[in-house]
Every structure is written in C-alpha cells, then in structure tokens.
A and B are shown apart, each in its own frame.
Chain A
Amino acid sequence: MNTSRAGAAGAIAIGLLTVTACGGGGSADGKMHVWMYQDSLAVVQKSAVERFNEDADIEAVVDEVPGDTYQDKVRTVMGSGDQPDVFFNWGAGSIQPYVEQDMLLPLDDALESDPEFADAYISSVMEAGKVDGVQYGIPLRGTQPVILFYNKEVFEDVDAEAPETWDDIIDLTDTFKDEGITPFALGGADAWTEQMWLQYLVDRQGGPEVFQRIQDGDSEGWRDPAVLKAAETVEDLVERGAFGDNFASVSYTEGAASDLLAQGKAAMHLMGSWEFSTHLDQAPEFAEEGLGYVAFPALPDGEGDPANVAGNPTNYFSVSADSEYTEEAVEFLKTTSSEEYVQDMVDNGEVPTTTGAEELLKDSPDPDFATFQYEMVQDAPHFQLSWDQALPPEVATPMLTEIEKLFNGQISPEEFVDAVAELQ
C-alpha cells in the first residue's frame, strides 16, 4: 500500500494548491446573469429583465433555479468562480456568509446618491436586507407575512367563528377534533412549516427581543423563558391533536397540507401569504369563496405585541462584488421600484413593499386580501424574518431538525431548549 500512501501525500499537496487558488469572477458569456428562485411569481422579474435589456448596453438573462435546493445551489456556485451577477435571496443570515467573504457589493453608496431609490421601500422591509448595518439587498418581491388561513365552509358547518384569542384556538381544536376534522393542517415533512408556529409563539410570548438576541449570536438567548413556554405550547397543541395524527408525513411542498384545507379535511392552516395564490391556481373557487384569513392571535400573559408579523418581509436582490457589471446591476436593482414593476407585482397578486403602493392594490386579483396584507405589514411594529433565513445555515439546518423533533414528540420542550442553545 506504499503507492497509495504516497498518492495521498501528493493529493494533499495538490489539494492545498487547488483549494487556496482563487477563481475569477463572473460567467464568461458576456451576459449579466440574474438568478431567480423558480416559481410562478418569477414572471415579474422576467419582464423586468426584458424592459432592462431594451435600454441597456449589455444583455441580462434570468436563470431560474428550482426551489427546494435553491440556497444550496447558490452557495455551491458562489464558491465556483462562476457566480451570478445578481441573485435572489432572503437577506440577513442567508447572505451573511457571502458578506463575510466580501463577495457582495455594499449598496449604501448607491442609495445615498439616489434618495428617490432609497425612499422607495417601506423601511421595516429594508431592514432585513442589511448585514451589520450595511445594505446588501434590495427588495424585489411582494411581502409574505404568515397568516392563519381557514376554510369558511367547515367553520359554518360547526357554527364557529374565526379565532381571535388563544382560547378560541384551544376551543376550536377540541371542536374540530370531535367532528373528525383535523383542526390545523401542518406539512410536518417540511420542518419550516412547523417553524412558523414556533416563531409566532415565541414572538407573542416574549416579543421580538427574544429572537433578536439569538440572531445577534448569543446562543443563551434560546434559554429565555419565552422559548420554553412556546415549546411547551407546541407540545400541548400536538397532544391535543391540533395537527391530526399523521402530520409528520404530510408534505407541504407536494401540496398535501394545502389540499387538506381546500378539501375540508382540515379547518385551518398557518402559512405564508403565497398560500392564497396556490389555492387560486389549484382550486380557484375555494380561493375566492371559501378561504378565510386572520392574524395570529395573542397569547394569554404574552408580552409580545399581537400586531407583530412573522414570515418573509420580502425577498432581495444582491449583487456579486466581483461581477463585471456592478454598475449595470445597480441600475437593474433600481427598476424594482419602477411603476411598471410594481404594477406587474400587483397584477400577479403580490403585495408590494414600495411606499405608496396602497392605491395600486385595487388592481389586485383579490383587493380585500391584498389590502389586509398591506395593512398588516404597514402597521406591524416588527416584522420577524423566518428564523431559518435570519440565522446562518450552519445553525439554521440543525435548528430545523430540532424543531421537527419537538413537534414529533421525540424530545421534550426542555430538551429542545438545551439542543438549540448548544448549536451556536
């Protein structure tokens, strides 16, 4: 085995050379590549690129990357020397690793030199596009707060009203369970759907400060009593049968959770606002007539403001620092506040995060729902970015696993707190 040992030694030597070598930036085909998360909403960005190409000296192209593994793909390509010039992301923790490697273009200068651009977006939404106080992301999408959806018909059948308080939630759970209807649809095969519950519960219990501390890197923040209380609430809900007995194998991404609600097999569903478009696409009649929506209720003795919202404030475009087209890219970013762009978003059922978009909302496919969302976000003292996007992936991935275990009853609330506190 001498040969293979010598081979290994050589391999390490070559390895040292290769991994420390730096890749040059940008694709070589002379086009500005814009990476988008592939879904039905990406048409807005595609037409924006078309408009951009009419006036620009260079050609921009949209590369659509399929959803589930989007972030992993971005991370893979960012290291490859073949990175996109502009790419879709969730701001905050999702871009932090790139900022640490100086791979992103700071946008502060561009904003300062163009006040109109700077003031175009709701300020609470701009916040999540910052890392360490520096702006790296520009909002590109509508806002996506997490909302409690319900099936009106099922509620009428049992003569129930939409929940306004936590007591209502508990009562409704018991009511629907007795009727043989799953009280809340939950796609437990995708742990981020469970995370939505926990982040609302923590916020309602202890306010946004609790998670802020964690996000700032203090892992002891997980030991805040509010986290334990929230985890105990989850345990209680699961034991009450709030999510039915097979939620752990229900998939959200395959549409099973949404179907349960639409078919009346489940009464409620806590989900991002995009759920409305999903139903509009799959079961239009249900979306227009049968789909109700309310904000997440307050908890008894909770310190958090019930007007707070969790979810994705929006998505962001960031620019690669070593792109050949940084100037053009910034110009392109500015188009996301243009009238045509915002109009496209509204027509597509999105709720823009630009200031003064209110009057455009009447053009939305469902003006009531759009206005509900816009006001919810506008009035929110705090918009909590989804935890798994707010934290860097090193922490977010194992955190989601622990949340899944908590919901599955594989660990107790106390064990959950210990496990997540040890992640950082």
Chain B
Amino acid sequence: MSTTALSRVRSGAAPRTGRPGAVWALPGLLFFGIFAVLPMGLVAYLSLTSWGGLGAPRFIGMENWSRLAGDTVMHKAIVLSLVLTVANWAVQTPISLLLGVWAAGPQRNRAVLSAVFFTPLLLSSAAIAIIWKSLLDPNFGPLAQVGPWLGYPGADVLGDSTGAFAAIVFVSAWQFIPLHMLLYQGGARQIPESLYRAAEIDGAGRLRSFWHITLPQLRHTITTSSVLMVVGSLTYFETVLILTDGGPGTDTSIVPYLMYQVGFESWKTGYASAIAFTLVVVATAVSLIMVRLTGFGAMRSTKEGM
C-alpha cells in the first residue's frame, strides 16, 4: 500500500497505472455528507433540544430521552415496527421465492402471467394505498360485499386493531412481492442446469431438488431480498399514513409514522428527533447485524489481490 500523500500526487497524472485517487469519490462523498450524514448529526443534536419548528431550538439535555424511555406510545411503536418487519418478511419471502422460482421455469404461459404479476410495480406506494383504501371501505367498497364471509360482518377491517395491522401487512405484500419475485427469478435463472440433472439422475424428486439445490443456491438472493425487506419495513410510512393514519387509536402507529405525527402534526420537533434517532440506531443495528451474519456487501474482492 502506498501512502496517502503519494497517491494524492499520483491521482493528478498517474501516468502508468491509470489508478484514480480518492478525489474521485470526493464529489459523491460531499453530496452524501451534506444530505445524509449531516442530517444524522443534526437529528442527534435536535434530540437534545426543545423546538417547535419556529425560532431557535432550546437546549434541554437529556429531557427528551428520559421522556422517550417512559413513553408507552413509543414502546408500542417499536414493538409494532418489529412485528411488522417480521410479519412482512414471513409473508413476503416464501411467496416471492416460490413465485420467482416458478417464473424462472420453462412454462409457456409464464411470460404472460409474469407480466400481470408485474403490475403493482407500476404503481407508487401512495397510489397503492389509495386503491386499497377504497377497496376496504366498509360501506361502499367490494369489502362491504365480501366482508361478512371473511369474519368481518361490519366490514370494519381498518377500524379493528388486528384487521388494520393485517391490512398493512397484506398491502405491503401486494406491493413488494413483485419486486422480490423478480430478484428470485433472476437468482433462480443462474442456478446451473447441471445441478438439477445430477439430482435427477440420483432420483431426486421435485421437492428434494428444490430443498437441496434451489434453496442453497439462492442464499445470496435471500440475503439481499431480506435486507431490502427489513430496511423497507422499518421505514414504512406512506401506506400507514394513507391507509390507517396510525389508527385505530395508536394500533398501527409504527415508529416512522409516530415520528411524522409528533414532528409535523404536534410540532414537538425535538422529541420527534429523539424518535428519529432511535429509528436510525435500530435500523443501523439491524442492517449491520444482517451484513455481519451474511457477508452482504462485504469488500468481496474478486480480482484485486488485496
């Protein structure tokens, strides 16, 4: 390894190796610094202040944090966020994996059906939430007709704690399964055919080759897809805002929604920053753990001899 100084000098001309200096990363790093890292620092600072969005923030030390520690709504929000994350993962992973593997197969109707399955990806989260809100209307939507069969005689799905939460899990599955299905489809296509042949010769059935070949071969895809799902679930916002508004009561007020409500409706900006910072810490911890456990995104150097 050369010293930094040397490489800086080289970065200008670098006549023989053509290697770029760290300067190449500077514009992007600065940009990212101003709009992502700096805000993180500000969140930490604001969490120590009392501020209503007007005038200057007043430094109050750990007051927000001690209140946060005893805030039952926040505790509930954290639990809800975690449950949502687990539920999203548990619902979306098997369905998208199976659909993805299926779509990678040779069936003739596959292309047409895949195209239909792709449609939710054309719609934004806001659009999807609006569609489902109208579909779940208890008096004037299709749910009013089929609700009684599903155990909701009043079709009061969004007004019921379990129902509203289930609706959010369902709508996010509807929205995100197509994306994850595509990931798995891409992954499944790269499994060498020879593995299946060999298994077939060994007399393995469909189930066994799925279990012993497909699943292990897809482990990287499973990791990627899971990280995306987890981070996505922790920061889920629009759907809750539009579909349930955090209700009934606070029964679907997950952390990002609570932060929005406290910050931009109640205007307790300092307190909202403490919530936000908690979210950052949780999301960072969760993804670092996942990265550690799975090696996702590691400096997987293939050809560089480092």
A interface residues, Cβ below 8 angstroms from B: 4, 7-12, 14-16, 19-20, 72, 75-76, 78-79, 97-98, 100-101, 103, 188-189, 191, 244-251, 254, 256, 259-260, 265, 393-394, 396-398, 401, 404-405, 408, 410-411
Contact among A12, A15, A16, A398 with B266 in the assembled complex (CB-CB below 8 Å): A398
Within 8 A of A (CB), among B1-53: 33, 37-42, 44-46, 51-53
Contact B264 A72 (CB under 8 A): yes
Asked whether any CB of chain A lies closer than 8 Å to the CB of B295, the reply is no
Chain A residues with Cβ under 8 A from B44's Cβ?
Answer: 8, 12
Chain B residues with Cβ under 8 A from A398's Cβ?
Answer: 266
Asked whether any CB of chain A lies closer than 8 Å to the CB of B265, the reply is yes
In the docked arrangement, what's the CA distance between A408 and B50, Å?
Answer: 33
In the docked arrangement, what's the CA distance between A254 and B38, Å?
Answer: 40
In the docked arrangement, what's the CA distance between A405 and B249, Å?
Answer: 5
Contact B45 A248 (CB under 8 A): no
Contact among B33, B37, B158 with A189 in the assembled complex (CB-CB below 8 Å): B158
Per-residue contact bits, chain B 248-288, to A (CB 8 Å; 1 contact, 0 not): 11110000000001101111100000000000000000000
Asked whether any CB of chain A lies closer than 8 Å to the CB of B154, the reply is yes
Chain A residues with Cβ under 8 A from B45's Cβ?
Answer: 11-12, 15-16
For B164, give the chain A residue with the smallest CB separation: A249
Contact B52 A394 (CB under 8 A): yes
If A11-B37, A20-B56 touch, whether A265 touches B42 (CB-CB below 8 Å) is: no
In the docked arrangement, what's the CA distance between A20 and B134, Å?
Answer: 44
Asked whether any CB of chain A lies closer than 8 Å to the CB of B115, the reply is no
Instruction: Give the Cβ gap from A13 to chain B, nearest Cβ, in Å.
Output: 9
Chain A residues with Cβ under 8 A from B161's Cβ?
Answer: 410
Per-residue contact bits, chain B 221-255, to A (CB 8 Å; 1 contact, 0 not): 00000000000000000000000011111110000
For B141, give the chain A residue with the smallest CB separation: A256
Contact A248 B160 (CB under 8 A): yes
Within 8 A of A (CB), among B81-108: none
Asked whether any CB of chain A lies closer than 8 Å to the CB of B120, the reply is no
Contact A248 B159 (CB under 8 A): yes
Contact A7 B37 (CB under 8 A): yes
Asked whether any CB of chain A lies closer than 8 Å to the CB of B153, the reply is yes
Contact among B41, B54, B158 with A103 in the assembled complex (CB-CB below 8 Å): B54
Contact B139 A246 (CB under 8 A): yes
Chain A residues with Cβ under 8 A from B39's Cβ?
Answer: 11
Contact A15 B56 (CB under 8 A): no
B interface residues, Cβ below 8 angstroms from A: 33, 37-42, 44-46, 51-57, 133-134, 136-140, 153-161, 164, 245-251, 261-262, 264-268
Chain B residues with Cβ under 8 A from A98's Cβ?
Answer: 54
Chain B residues with Cβ under 8 A from A411's Cβ?
Answer: 249
Chain A residues with Cβ under 8 A from B139's Cβ?
Answer: 246, 250, 256, 259-260, 265
Instruction: Give the Cβ gap from A391 to chain B, nearest Cβ, in Å.
Output: 11
Instruction: Give the Cβ gap from B68 to chain A, nearest Cβ, in Å.
Output: 15
Contact A7 B53 (CB under 8 A): no
Chain B residues with Cβ under 8 A from A404's Cβ?
Answer: 247-249
Instruction: Give the Cβ gap from A11 to chain B, nearest Cβ, in Å.
Output: 2
Contact A11 B40 (CB under 8 A): yes
Contact B247 A189 (CB under 8 A): yes
Contact B54 A79 (CB under 8 A): yes
For B53, give the chain A residue with the smallest CB separation: A79
Chain A residues with Cβ under 8 A from B267's Cβ?
Answer: 75, 97, 393-394
Instruction: Give the Cβ gap from A367 to chain B, nearest Cβ, in Å.
Output: 33
Contact A189 B245 (CB under 8 A): yes
Q: List 22 A-B contacts (CB under 8 A).
A: A4-B37, A7-B41, A8-B41, A11-B42, A12-B41, A16-B45, A19-B42, A19-B46, A79-B54, A101-B55, A246-B138, A247-B159, A249-B137, A250-B139, A251-B137, A256-B137, A256-B138, A256-B140, A394-B52, A394-B266, A401-B250, A408-B249
Chain B residues with Cβ under 8 A from A79's Cβ?
Answer: 53-54
Chain B residues with Cβ under 8 A from A10's Cβ?
Answer: 38, 41
Contact A19 B56 (CB under 8 A): yes
Instruction: Give the Cβ gap from A395 to chain B, nearest Cβ, in Å.
Output: 8
Closest 10 A-B residue pairs measured CB to CB?
A11-B41, A248-B159, A246-B156, A249-B159, A246-B154, A249-B158, A245-B154, A405-B249, A246-B138, A397-B266
Instruction: Give the Cβ gap from A193 to chain B, nearest Cβ, in Å.
Output: 13
In the docked arrangement, what's the CA distance between A250 and B159, Å?
Answer: 8
Chain B residues with Cβ under 8 A from A246's Cβ?
Answer: 138-139, 154-156, 159
Given contacts A11-B42, A75-B54, A100-B54, list 11 more A-B pairs with CB under 8 A: A19-B51, A20-B56, A76-B264, A189-B245, A245-B154, A245-B156, A246-B156, A248-B156, A248-B247, A394-B52, A404-B249
If A97-B267, A408-B249 touch, whether A249 touches B138 (CB-CB below 8 Å) is: yes
Chain A residues with Cβ under 8 A from B261's Cβ?
Answer: 397
Instruction: Give the Cβ gap from A405 to chain B, nearest Cβ, in Å.
Output: 4
Instruction: Give the Cβ gap from A16 to chain B, nearest Cβ, in Å.
Output: 7
In the docked arrangement, what's the CA distance between A72 and B260, Å?
Answer: 11
Chain B residues with Cβ under 8 A from A191's Cβ?
Answer: 247
Instruction: Give the Cβ gap from A42 to chain B, nearest Cβ, in Å.
Output: 23
Chain B residues with Cβ under 8 A from A11's Cβ?
Answer: 37-42, 45
Chain B residues with Cβ under 8 A from A260's Cβ?
Answer: 139
Chain B residues with Cβ under 8 A from A259's Cβ?
Answer: 139-140
In the docked arrangement, what's the CA distance between A278 and B137, Å?
Answer: 20
In the docked arrangement, what's the CA distance between A16 and B44, Å?
Answer: 12
In the docked arrangement, what's the CA distance between A4 and B248, Å?
Answer: 40
Instruction: Give the Cβ gap from B62 to chain A, nearest Cβ, in Å.
Output: 16
In the docked arrangement, what's the CA distance between A23 and B293, Å?
Answer: 47
Contact among B40, B46, B158, B249 with A8 in the assembled complex (CB-CB below 8 Å): B40
Contact B52 A188 (CB under 8 A): no
Chain B residues with Cβ under 8 A from A100's Cβ?
Answer: 54
In the docked arrangement, what's the CA distance between A408 and B161, Å?
Answer: 10
In the docked arrangement, what's the CA distance between A259 and B139, Å?
Answer: 9
Contact among B136, B137, B248, B264 with A410 in the assembled complex (CB-CB below 8 Å): B248
Contact B157 A249 (CB under 8 A): yes
Chain B residues with Cβ under 8 A from A188's Cβ?
Answer: 159
Contact B56 A249 (CB under 8 A): no
Chain A residues with Cβ under 8 A from B262's Cβ?
Answer: 397
For B136, give the chain A residue with the smallest CB separation: A249
For A5, give the chain B residue with the smallest CB separation: B41
